Amino acid sequence: MNKTININLGGVFFHIDEEAYQKLKKYLDAIRRSLSDDPQGKDEILTDIESRIGEILSEKIKDVRQVVNQNDIEDIIAVMGKPEEYAGDEGIFEDDTTYKNAKNKKTKKLFRDGSDKFLGGVASGLAHYFGVDVIWVRLGWLLLLVGGFSVILYPILWILLPEANTTSEKLEMEGEAVNISNIERKIKEELSNASKIVKDGIEDVSEHLKSGNYQSRVRTGLQEIIDLFARVFSAIFKVTGKFIGILLIVISAATLFGILVGGFSLGSIEFLDLGDDMASYPPFFNNSRLPLWLLITFSFIAIAVPFILLFMLGLKIISSNVKSLSRPTNLTLLGIWLVSIMGISFAGIEYQAHDANQYTKVEKIAINTPITDTLNIKMLAKDDFELKRYYDSQTVYENGKEKFYKTNIGLDIRESNTNDTYLKIKKKAYAITKAKAVEYANKMNYHLEIKDANLLLNAYFISEIENIYRHQKIKMVLYIPKGKTIYLDRSTKNFLDNVQDIYDEEMIKHYYKMTTKGLNCTDCNSKKENEELIENDTENNE
Amino acid sequence: MKIENTKAQMRKGILEFCILSILQKGDAYTSEILSVLKDAKLLVVEGTIYPLLTRLKNAGLLSYRWEESTSGPPRKYYALTETGEIFLKELTTTWQNLATAVQVVTKKSN
């Protein structure tokens, strides 16, 4: 049992069954598409064709009650010819190569070309689409093979692009190249099309106004103008959309390529165990409960998934026949993306939690040198591991054990309330619990030495590897009584911590005497009144 | 070089010439033109003629009018315009020249 539909073909009324109707509609649509190169004549041609089909049908169907079926439509198609044949003999005078372009001026679609394939025909499909020779596309794939880009992208395209099987698909694949001049022509065509509609619409409206009955008619005129705007916008979008699509593809592909290369390099570095010097991670990567490789994978997924989707969106804009990802695939992608985001968030929260409690351990060390002696202050770096510039920490090996070497040390100098010289060492540590913070502070291994009139401070401290990046620092305050002189060795340059109202770095290599107003430079040339004192001090020093 | 293309190339100019010639004998509607062409085996499928007629009409060689019919909806009757007449005259001369030329050439080569 079939539903029947009533149609009007060139002014004649027909009953047609649903399947036959679909077939006829498809046929007429196909003709419309194949005639797309002249928008003005298209409607007229189609009306003529419909009238002719109506004529043929009415010859066949004598009884009005008879229903048009599929066979009738097939017969009509046989008489009228295939949609391709309507395009006429447009391209026959062209050479074979340009013939393809002239023959089919409809929008091009991306397919895989099964007839010219090395692997899946992706390269030849792209070549058809952009109107370049396939060898360039293949060379491009080879170039992108460096870093594994092709290895990822090629299968994606292979899966997403359908193969051109039927003739019309092949024609669509080989249609007009997508380039600037063609796009420009398309815009012009669409605009002239649109202006024709405007003109018709205005004529229509004015005609209706003349005839007096405007209430209902104005509406149709308005409707047409609204339609027109919709068409103009869709035309503009069609054109700019291609650019946006290409832009999306380029950007997302470049990003995917970047993170792939990055991920590959990181993986190699980790695999070869080149360590921290080569790769620096966000701080919270290093002391998470989650393993480093998992966090790296999570970051990769978190960045990659949105860009894969953008990439596909770009492809879709460029060519409507790109397959969509199936629902399960989409859900899986969404799932792993969410898991990755949660994993990274967890590591971040975990990291923040490590700062929750703080503990400062204070040690006081007396420096028993005569008040007349000048105290020479030096910061000693450990010779075996030279710390790189701009790094305030790095991992080192001590007795075969990995340790954490840090230079976050500050030195301040203040006046002592007594006649004693002493040093206060504040070891500051953070941890998730108070007990842990205390433990970490106690584990901070700091060494200093007092040798004759020299205060030899270590320029570093060593801590357990687990404490890495937990902001431990050591702050020292040297208390000296009034009248005592100190000398700041060059090595203290980077460790002075707001000692005086002079730039800390400019304080080195000078002598200072503690006065009621704070430290007073005794050998600075800028201060004339100190010149005499310099001599005294040099004597002292000797 | 495809044989179909060459055949189509040969037919193309002649088809336009023939349509104009048919209309010279009197106005006709599409189905009449079609039946003449089909009887003469100049046309394989009907579809080809519609874009062609529209193109000729848009070029100003043909005009049309609607005429009531006894057996159905109104019919589109095509007629030759003045430009069409001139166009046809030139085509006729060209065709005659071509026909003799082709005859001479093919005879020689035989």
C-alpha dihedral, B48 to B50 to B53 to B59, nearest 10°: -100
Residues A123 and A212 in one domain: no
Domain that holds residue A44: 1-88
Domain boundary among A88, A119, A150: A88
Give the pLDDT confidence score for residue A197 in this predicted structure: 66
Residues A457 and A366 in one domain: yes
Give the pLDDT confidence score for residue A287 in this predicted structure: 63
Q: How many CB atoms lie within 10 A of CB A347?
A: 23
The domain total for chain A is 4
State the pLDDT confidence band at A87, using cuts at 50, 70 and 90: low
Q: What is the pLDDT of residues A311-364, one digit of tens each?
A: 888 888 777 677 777 788 888 888 999 999 998 888 888 877 777 888 888 988
State the pLDDT confidence band at A532, using cuts at 50, 70 and 90: very low
Q: What is the pLDDT of residues A108-151, one digit of tens each?
A: 778 888 777 777 788 888 888 777 788 888 888 888 777 667 77
Which of the residues A33, A55, A61, A76 would you substitute to probe the B interface, choosing the one with the greatest number of B C-beta atoms within 10 Å?
A55
Give the pLDDT confidence score for residue A175 in this predicted structure: 67
Residues A348 and A206 in one domain: yes
Lowest mean pLDDT among A107-116, A300-309, A509-518, B42-51: A107-116
Question: Is residue A161 domain-resident?
Answer: yes
Question: Is residue A115 domain-resident?
Answer: yes
Half-sphere exposure of A408 (CA within 13 A, CB side): 20
Residues A363 and A487 in one domain: yes
B60 touches chain A (CB under 8 A): no
For the sheet with A510-515, list strands across it: A448-451, A454-458, A375-380, A485-488, A510-515, A518-521
* Chain A residue with Cα closest to B57: A41
Residues A115 and A226 in one domain: no
Residues A319 and A451 in one domain: no
Which of A35, A55, A81 has the CB atom closest to B45's CB atom? A81
B38 touches chain A (CB under 8 A): no
**Mean local confidence (pLDDT), A387-394:** 56
Give the pLDDT confidence score for residue A467 in this predicted structure: 64
- Inter-chain Cβ pairs, chain A and chain B, closer than 8 A: 75
CB contact under 8 A, B53 and A93: no
B66 touches chain A (CB under 8 A): no
Residues A204 and A265 in one domain: yes
* Chain B residue with Cα closest to A36: B51
Half-sphere exposure of A512 (CA within 13 A, CB side): 26
Residues A144 and A47 in one domain: no
Boundaries of every domain in chain B: 3-109
Give the pLDDT confidence score for residue A486 in this predicted structure: 86
pLDDT at position A494 over 50:
yes
B52 touches chain A (CB under 8 A): yes
Residues A185 and A174 in one domain: no
Q: Which CATH architecture has domain B3-109?
A: Orthogonal Bundle (1.10)
**Mean local confidence (pLDDT), A73-94:** 71
Residues A143 and A128 in one domain: yes
Lowest mean pLDDT among A7-16, A156-165, A167-176, A506-515: A167-176
Give the pLDDT confidence score for residue A205 in this predicted structure: 64
CB contact under 8 A, A89 and B9: yes
C-alpha dihedral, A287 to A289 to A294 to A298, nearest 10°: -80
Residues A537 and A500 in one domain: yes
Question: Is residue A532 domain-resident?
Answer: yes
Question: Is residue A113 domain-resident?
Answer: yes
Contacting residues of A for B63, CB less than 8 Å apart = none
Closest listed residue to residue A112, CA positions, set A102, A103, A122: A122
Lowest mean pLDDT among A62-76, A200-214, A483-497, B75-89: A200-214
> How close B108 gets to chain A, by Cα (Å)?
27
Contacting residues of B for A48, CB less than 8 Å apart = 30, 50, 53-54, 76
A163 vs B17, higher pLDDT = B17
Question: Is residue A124 domain-resident?
Answer: yes
Question: Is residue A93 domain-resident?
Answer: no
Residues A172 and A186 in one domain: no
Spell out which chain A residues touch chain B, with contact meaning CB-CB distance below 8 angstroms: 10-12, 31, 35, 38, 40-41, 44-45, 48-49, 51-52, 54-55, 58, 79-83, 85-89, 92-93, 96, 99
Q: What is the pLDDT of residues A139-157, one digit of tens each?
A: 888 887 776 677 777 877 8
Q: How many CB atoms lie within 10 A of CB B15?
A: 19
